[in-house]
Amino acid sequence: MNFDWNLITDLRAMWVYSFVRNAFEAGTIISVVAGLVGYFVILRRSAFATHALGHTGFSGAAGAVLFGVNPVYGLLLFTMSTGTGIALLGPRAANRDVEIGTVLAFALGVGLLFISLYKGYATEAYSILFGEVLGISDSGVVFTLEASLVVLAVLAVIYRPLLFASLDEDVAQAKGLPMLGLGVAFMLLLAVTISIAVQIIGVLLIFALMVTPAAVAVRVTKRPLSAVLVSISVALFATWTGLFVAFYTPYPASFIIVTIAFAIYVVVRTAPSLYALLGGRVARGGRRTIPRPSHGAAKEAGPTAPSEPPLAGSS
């Protein structure tokens, strides 16, 4: 398919194919959920947990292939079990790294066992490593939608206490919020979100949708609602643009989505420093101005001397 620089024509040409429609539908659903859940990942300092759940999900997919089950179900089982274990072992965000690393090492070991026991070539399991967005079927889109609705419904119920607990754990605990229950609920939501997101982006690149858009959002705004909207917008832009470019180029969609999200983060991350640097140069090269004192300050200082001496011979 050739790209003719007419976006309307190009989009119509893409939309003829059912696999493209499925990719855009699933990508849109996943981007919304990942952008929303990813904001809480940043607030709760759970980026490492996202990384760990993605890799343990691969172990679950390998086990599902070994037993002849759909890899997505094995992915869900392992991510939810791992997420629950992480939440129970490390109820506070500041103390989770050791627990996450311990659970991750065990889950990867189990995954290696599953791969070694499987006598064939685990194509479906390996495809989860990098995602296969252009291979999502109609049933896959339906499953993604159903799982996403469950995540959004639960998140709507626990949104306010979860936000409070994420912003200040000590105060939330002092107020009597169920910190352990909120932690388990969030990790389960994160596990389900990762399980559906790996279809489009893959386990190894899960940060592109789960962490990077939210990292951009918290640098752009401090308001929770605005940050959520920015996070979702960045995820949608990266996904839609990545799918569009991937259709007309030989490059993988996952790579393009990751590159776009990373580029946006780099721009947002470096823009303040660049602005300050350029602003300093303009100030040094520009004309110096002397601020005028206020009326009250002039009264207190009394009459001022003339800035220049009178010319000779003047009256």
Q: CA-to-CA distance for 32 and 141, rounded, in angstroms?
A: 14
| pLDDT at residue 313, as a whole number | 44
Element (H, E) at 12: helix 7-15
Structure tokens at 153: 């419904």
Q: CA-to-CA distance for 110 and 151, rounded, in angstroms?
A: 27
- Residues in the chain, how many? 315
Work out the pLDDT band at 6, boundaries 50, 70, 90.
Answer: low
pLDDT digits (tens, 9 = 90+) for 189-245: 999 998 888 877 777 677 788 899 999 999 999 899 999 999 999 999 999 999 988
What is the average pLDDT value for the chain, to the nearest integer?
80
| pLDDT at residue 161, as a whole number | 92
Structure tokens at 248: 């007309």
Q: Smallest Cα–Cα separation from 29: which of 189, 143, 188? A: 143
CA–centroid distance for 20 within its chain: 23
Fold that domain 15-206 belongs to in CATH: ABC transporter involved in vitamin B12 uptake, BtuC (1.10.3470)
| pLDDT at residue 116, as a whole number | 81
pLDDT digits (tens, 9 = 90+) for 88-131: 876 565 556 777 788 788 888 888 888 788 776 656 666 676 67
Element (H, E) at 273: helix 253-285
| pLDDT at residue 307, as a whole number | 47
Q: Is the pTM of this model over 0.75?
A: yes
